[in-house]
Amino acid sequence: MSSTYRPALDAVPRITSWERVPAYLYTRTELGRMTPLPATSPFTIWRSVMTPARTQHPTFAPADELVTGHNLATLCQVFRLNEYDDRVMASDRISRYGSYLRSNKAKFADDWNDSKTITTDPAEFTAAVWQVACGPIMSPPYLEWLPDRIRQVDTYLSEDDGALIARVEIAVPRPPELLVLRGYREWDRDGGFGDTGYFTPEDHLLKHGPAMLTSTTLLLPVPLSALTRPAAERDDPELPDTTAAKTAVWRLAEWLDEQLIDVLQALDAAQAGRA
């Protein structure tokens, strides 16, 4: 999203030095971007219409916000952390996600170190906490993407330099060149049980004809500033710290929220124009 339309972070003090930000809580959006937008700017108008009931909060989530049991949505509501379920469904009455982190501790092992400690690589740490937070490992997931068009969001490490890359699959309309082909089913929009989205047709429906499901895949290199410094539990260096893991998920979700909103809005606008 253009920096021209970055929303003001209400009630957040202007931060001018990294030293004033907790080690694994800072993001690239805190410094020098607190100037409010004009009330008539396109993004300000859009946000007031799309998120009227949402409580605004900074683009970094203080640790106490991540353990309150209240759901957290990213600024443009592309992602949500299901903190309420994380608390009430937790077997230890603290964090269901924390339990899954402990049962998947092998994903955090430092393969380059014989000592039993978690990785010290922010990219590896963020990739692991993101994977655990999503389905199919967690069902229902701790991290959820909200727009119907988003089919999948996962991450992998670059074979070139080990950097983190986010991969996002978004359902899109068939291009004009393919619209002339008749007899193909589109994405199913009803997933049952009141769920809406873009779903692969069930096998029995293919007896009536083939399906052509179009999507686009975004590959987004994640900057170091959107990653989180790994942290282990104080009493067990083999286990990731739950608050640090939640912070890593939140920070990457906030960064991806900013990268994806223009794409999603463009697709929705195009669909509205065809209606």
pLDDT in tens, 118-161: 999 999 999 999 999 999 999 999 999 999 999 999 999 999 99
Residue 200 lies in a domain: no
d(CA 227, CA 251) in angstroms, rounded, equals 7
pLDDT greater than 80 at residue 71 = yes
Helices marked H in 12-91: 42-50, 83-88
Structural element, H or E, at residue 72: strand 72-73
CA distances from 236 to 35, 113, 260 (A): 43, 16, 37
| Residue 82: per-residue pLDDT | 95
For range 89-105, the mean pLDDT: 94
Residue 169 lies in a domain: yes
For range 227-233, the mean pLDDT: 96
Residue written as tokens 């060149």?
A: 177
Name the pTM for this structure.
0.76
Residue 153 lies in a domain: yes
Residue 32 lies in a domain: yes
Handedness of CA 39, 40, 41, 42 (dihedral sign): positive
Residue 179 lies in a domain: no
Residue 28 lies in a domain: yes
| Domains identified in the chain, total number | 1
Residue 94 lies in a domain: yes
| Residue 41: per-residue pLDDT | 37
CB atoms within 10 A of CB 134: 20
Question: How does the average pLDDT of the chain come out, rounded?
Answer: 79
| Residue 65: per-residue pLDDT | 67
Supply the range of the domain harboring residue 19: 3-173+214-274
pLDDT tens-digit profile of 167-226? 999 999 999 999 899 999 999 988 777 788 899 999 999 999 999 999 999 999 999 999
Q: Sheet harboring 79-81: ordered strands across? A: 72-73, 79-81, 143-145
Residue 186 lies in a domain: no
pLDDT tens-digit profile of 1-50? 333 323 332 333 333 333 333 333 333 333 233 233 344 433 333 333 34
